[in-house]
Structure 1
């Protein structure tokens, strides 16, 4: 019999293992109770670092481990603006909600007019973000509550990017908060609640993960490229995704993880070389675009033109592989 004393997280680029996998070999019930009690005492006792930086809980016989919240000094680079500090605080508030509910009974799932799932956790995480941002003068556009695209200064929010993953207890979900100032994307924060990783970027300050400077990969060989692909909900976007996937499968390593924010944070960290989508919404990729560009990457539409702030035909890459990506799919973008 094989068991685990903690939740396993998907390990991305540079992520540290959250927990130790334990292999149990047919212990007696009495021995099993002894082992369980020993682990429980270790978690209850904790360490000063865990008490300050982590949340560890037992739910029945299941251990839930989250590395939230972290202090701002552990996340923010020098020179961060007040807006970036506010975005990090809002993301952490939402992350705490998600982490608390990750192992709870599945919350109610509703279909959103054919545009994916929404759970009670999506709404609760969104409310936590709104509470933090309530003192800001900027407008808000959020996946669940909606809003207007018209404001030049606008918070762009996806409280749980990867809701389908979350509802099935897959750890690849993220909080995504971007900010547009004067009509231009100015900063982005992507928080992975289960692993505790905080990816952030602000124009002119670079891209960071928990104060570690990020740089895109230098891969320029299509045969070595890891390329993330995703799509919107409409049938034409799904078909276009299928065609693009078939083309890249002949030359490269295509991947689909179910969370645009997570995928873009991986590209910024060098754990992928490109990301391609048609049909995603602005809240899916706004924060991630800033991350990748500040990490040294490039953004365009499928034809290679500069992204105009509205197009949902988007390619985000390490730059070195960008021309290969546009050459492969440019004919799939409608005129």
Structure 2
């Protein structure tokens, strides 16, 4: 079904602006008493995102609150759109005063990621990826690095490696969405999820689309592409600017 990409981007920008304003204006980063690791700032940002997105008639799937449906989803022109959101990706960083956290949004249209946006809530840098149209940072086209050898690569990680994978250096910044965007622009050569639980769809969908559209390679632990038939399924991923580096990291980590 056709969709209005400009309207979705407008809604995403409005959502990111409102969350950035709320977070910069001061929120409590005390634990909310909700799910493990949830802060009150997550809840506040989530409420803002849900209100803006569902007002447009779109369904929301959020880390903080699961599914939220518009009042009349069956009659909405956006009935085929689910917006996957992490309202504050990296809220632990925010709670500790570490300036590296973001809002991640991805419009899944008829089951396929179509538009992804990640906003750095500290710097304001905005990454956008559209299926078939490439990726941008603050409106300018971006592309990943051309590093092919692990020994020369700077790699972002989630979780803790059980062994040395052969990289030149590694980084663990604490916001998967932003770290994926760093791969898309070439600041990181690769990124790999080494956690026990694996990252969730709200952590990665926006960033993965931005990576793909920039020209980066995305692989799952089982070697397949990242499929989202079920948004609740978690999968370990490896992303790199080149196919050679992605496959090399995959082989080193998982054989």
Task: Bin the TM-score by the shorter chain.
Answer: 0.7 to 0.9
Residue pair 1:84, 1:202 contacting (<8 A) in 2 also: no
| Structure 1 residues 111 and 264, CA gap change in structure 2 (3 angstroms) | farther
Is 1:319 equivalent to 2:231 in the alignment? no
Within 5 A, what are the aligned runs for 1:10-159?
81-101=6-26, 106-110=28-32, 112-113=34-35, 115-116=36-37, 118-147=38-67, 153-159=81-87
In the other structure, the counterpart of 1:247 is 164
In the other structure, the counterpart of 2:201 is 282
- Structure 1 alignment gaps of length 5 or more: 1-78, 232-240
- Give the C-alpha shift of residue 152 in structure 1: 5.9
Q: Which whole-Å deviations, capped at 9, do the CAs of 1:82-108 have from their partners, x for residues lacking one?
A: 11221121111111111222xx7x532
Structure 2 Cα separation of the partners of residues 146 and 275 of structure 1 = 26
In the other structure, the counterpart of 2:223 is 304
> What is the RMSD of the two structures over their aligned residues, measured on CA atoms?
2.0
Q: Which whole-Å deviations, capped at 9, do the CAs of 1:160-181 have from their partners, x for residues lacking one?
A: 1001100011111001111111
- Structure 2 alignment gaps of length 5 or more: 69-78
Is 1:256 equivalent to 2:172 in the alignment? yes
The structure with the largest alpha-carbon Rg is 1
| Structure 1 residues 108 and 176, CA gap change in structure 2 (3 angstroms) | same
Structure 1 Cα separation of the partners of residues 63 and 20 of structure 2 = 16
Residue pair 2:54, 2:60 contacting (<8 A) in 1 also: no
Structure 1 Cα separation of the partners of residues 25 and 149 of structure 2 = 42
Residue pair 2:221, 2:235 contacting (<8 A) in 1 also: no
- Give the C-alpha shift of residue 130 in structure 1: 1.8
In the other structure, the counterpart of 1:196 is 124
Residue pair 1:198, 1:209 contacting (<8 A) in 2 also: yes
Q: Which whole-Å deviations, capped at 9, do the CAs of 1:13-46 have from their partners, x for residues lacking one?
A: xxxxxxxxxxxxxxxxxxxxxxxxxxxxxxxxxx
Structure 2 Cα separation of the partners of residues 200 and 100 of structure 1 = 25
Matched residue of 1:134: which SS? Answer: helix
Higher mean C-alpha deviation, range 272-281 or range 182-191: 272-281
- Give the C-alpha shift of residue 247 in structure 1: 2.3
Is 1:294 equivalent to 2:213 in the alignment? yes
Residue pair 2:91, 2:101 contacting (<8 A) in 1 also: yes
Matched residue of 1:109: which SS? Answer: coil
Within 5 A, what are the aligned runs for 1:167-246?
167-231=95-159, 241-243=160-162, 246=163
Structure 2 Cα separation of the partners of residues 288 and 195 of structure 1 = 17
* 4+ residue runs over 3 A deviation: 110-113
Structure 1 Cα separation of the partners of residues 136 and 158 of structure 2 = 24
